[in-house]
Structures are given as structure tokens and as C-alpha cells.
């Protein structure tokens, strides 16, 4: 096994892997601090990721793709990290997170709707004032105020940094001809939001994640943004949430 420690979402994990790929992937998070917990992969974990990927391709009407085992192992590592972090009050959320003026905004949407595109509109609008924390699967620590953390798992465009910021708002993006934004309650959008939260296979850990998610939805500003892909969509979103 190949082992190294990484500090992710404020906790140190010792990763024990078969291949070196995941260690190259996580190198920006490398630390010499003592581990809070450890994760270890096996050939069975890699096979499980292969089955999951094939099922997802089938669900989306695509031919199953062949992925290298080292890449599949890196997915298994992140799954195990997310499983463990539930015990530390931290959840994995599928969305694109940016930071502006010391506060994080989290965009989420159905796959292909354009959350990453919208995040890049914010980057175009605000330039160096804006930081992309994580463009795909950030971690959120639920405390007195939720905090969004960057991770090595930054999506297909590999956008993100090893940083964090307190969460100000979650924005659900919907395609529309004109840009509009409205505040919503957790009850109104619970089904949409909870579908973006990673849930472990273990029942007890899933129950913990669901409780954390409810606290998150109750403490963050929640909005629905109807938007086109013009930069004015970013202006509408920011003005509506700031």
C-alpha cells in the first residue's frame, strides 16, 4: 500500500491506496500532521466504482466507458473520505462554490444546466476578487455557521483551490430566457437540495448526513435563479443574494 496524510475540510486523513494516482491528485493537500482517521482501498472498492460508473452511464443513455483502475480508486477514496467526515459534521454537496468578499456562494442544478458556466460568469464579472473554491463536489462543515471547503476533487474543468469560506447562500439554477431571482424556504426546495447531497451506504451515517443537511438548509440563504448564460445573470444573482 501507498500511504500519505492530507488535510481536507479541516481534518487529516491517512490515505492507504494501491496506486499512486490518488496521491498525485491530492498533492496540494499533503500534510505532515497526525491523521484524525484513515481510509484504505481494496480491489473490491475499485470494482464497485466500475459498476457505479457503468450504471450512471446507462442511466444517462450513454455507452459504458472504460476508466483506468487508478482513477476509479481515486473515486473510491473520496467516497470513503465523505463517509468518514459525516462523523465530523461535514457533508459532500454536488455544486459549484465560489467566494467573494470573504463569503461563499454555492450554485447547484441538474446536470448540464450550467452551474459551472454560471460560476465562470461570476469570475468574468468580479475578476481576481472572486475565488472558485470548488467547481464540482465541495465539502461543507456544519457548525454555528456552515463553512465551504475546497477539495482535490474539482470536477472535469479542475477548478478550485485549497481554501475555505463561510457560506452565505445556496442558489438553485434553472434555465430561463430572462434573469430573475427569488428567495425560497427550505421546505420549498428540500427535494432538489437533498438530491445534491452525498449519502453513504451505511444507514447510520446516512441518517447523520440528513440531519446535517437539514441544519445546512435552515441556516443558509436559499434562492432560485432563473437565468440565461449572459453575464447579466451573474449580476442578477449577486444583487439578489448579497
CA 74 to CA 60: how far, in whole Å?
22
**74-112: per-residue pLDDT in tens?**
999 999 999 999 999 999 999 999 999 999 999 998 877
- Of 228, 232, 215, which is closest to residue 170 (Cα–Cα)? 215
Q: Are residues 117 and 219 in the same domain?
A: yes
CA 134 to CA 130: how far, in whole Å?
12
- Of 103, 141, 97, which is closest to residue 115 (Cα–Cα)? 97
Q: Are residues 177 and 117 in the same domain?
A: yes
Q: Are residues 27 and 128 in the same domain?
A: no
Q: How much of the chain is helix, strand and coil, in % rounded to 5?
A: 40, 30, 30
Q: Which H helix or E strand runs over 24?
A: helix 21-25
**162-214: per-residue pLDDT in tens?**
999 999 999 999 999 899 999 999 999 999 999 999 999 999 999 999 999 99
**128-153: per-residue pLDDT in tens?**
999 999 999 999 999 989 999 999 99
Q: Are residues 106 and 207 in the same domain?
A: yes
Distance, CA of 240 to chain centre: 23
What's 147's domain CATH number?
A: 3.90.228.20
Beta carbons of 6 and 17 less than 8 angstroms apart: no
pLDDT of residue 242: 87
Position with higher pLDDT, 80 vs 63: 80
Q: Are residues 123 and 186 in the same domain?
A: yes
Q: Which of 88, 108, 132 is the last residue of a domain?
A: 88
Q: Are residues 98 and 213 in the same domain?
A: yes
HSE value, Cβ hemisphere, 13 Å, CA-based, for 172: 20
Q: Are residues 236 and 189 in the same domain?
A: yes
pLDDT value at 62 more than 90: no
Q: Are residues 49 and 23 in the same domain?
A: yes
Number of folded domains that form the chain: 2
Q: Are residues 36 and 144 in the same domain?
A: no
Q: Are residues 117 and 58 in the same domain?
A: no
Reduce the DSSP state of residue 162 to 3 states and report it: coil
Q: Can you give the residue range of the structural domain that contains 13?
A: 2-88
Q: Which of 88, 117, 133 is the last residue of a domain?
A: 88
3-state secondary structure 74-133: HHHHHHHHHHHHHHHCEEEECCEEEEECCEEEEEECCCCCCHHHHHHHHHHHHHHHEEEE
Q: Which of 55, 71, 88 is the last residue of a domain?
A: 88
Q: Are residues 220 and 193 in the same domain?
A: yes
Q: Are residues 176 and 95 in the same domain?
A: yes
**pTM exceeds 0.85:** yes
Amino acid at each position: 500500500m501507498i500511504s500519505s496524510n492530507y488535510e481536507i475540510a479541516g481534518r487529516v486523513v491517512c490515505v492507504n491506496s494501491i496506486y499512486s494516482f490518488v496521491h498525485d491528485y491530492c498533492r496540494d493537500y499533503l500534510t505532515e500532521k497526525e491523521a484524525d482517521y484513515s481510509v484504505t482501498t481494496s480491489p473490491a472498492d475499485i470494482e464497485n466504482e466500475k459498476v457505479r460508473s457503468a450504471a450512471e452511464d446507462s442511466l444517462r443513455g450513454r455507452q459504458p466507458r472504460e476508466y483506468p483502475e487508478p482513477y476509479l480508486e481515486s473515486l473510491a477514496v473520496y467516497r470513503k473520505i465523505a463517509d468518514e467526515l459525516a462523523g465530523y459534521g461535514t457533508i459532500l454537496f454536488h455544486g459549484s462554490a465560489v467566494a467573494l468578499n470573504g463569503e461563499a456562494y454555492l450554485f447547484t442544478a441538474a446536470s448540464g444546466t450550467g452551474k459551472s458556466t454560471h460560476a465562470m460568469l461570476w469570475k468574468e464579472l468580479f475578476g481576481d476578487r472572486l475565488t472558485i473554491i470548488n467547481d464540482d463536489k465541495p465539502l461543507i462543515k456544519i457548525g454555528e455557521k456552515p463553512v465551504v471547503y475546497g477539495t482535490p476533487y474539482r470536477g472535469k474543468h479542475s477548478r478550485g483551490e485549497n481554501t475555505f469560506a463561510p457560506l452565505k447562500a445556496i442558489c438553485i439554477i434553472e434555465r430561463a430566457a430572462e434573469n430573475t431571482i427569488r428567495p425560497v424556504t427550505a421546505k420549498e426546495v428540500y427535494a432538489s437540495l437533498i438530491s445534491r447531497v452525498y449519502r453513504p451506504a451505511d444507514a447510520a451515517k446516512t441518517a447523520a448526513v440528513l440531519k446535517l443537511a437539514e441544519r445546512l438548509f435552515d441556516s443558509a440563504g436559499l434562492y432560485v435563479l432563473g437565468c440565461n448564460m449572459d453575464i447579466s445573470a451573474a449580476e442578477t444573482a449577486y444583487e439578489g443574494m448579497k
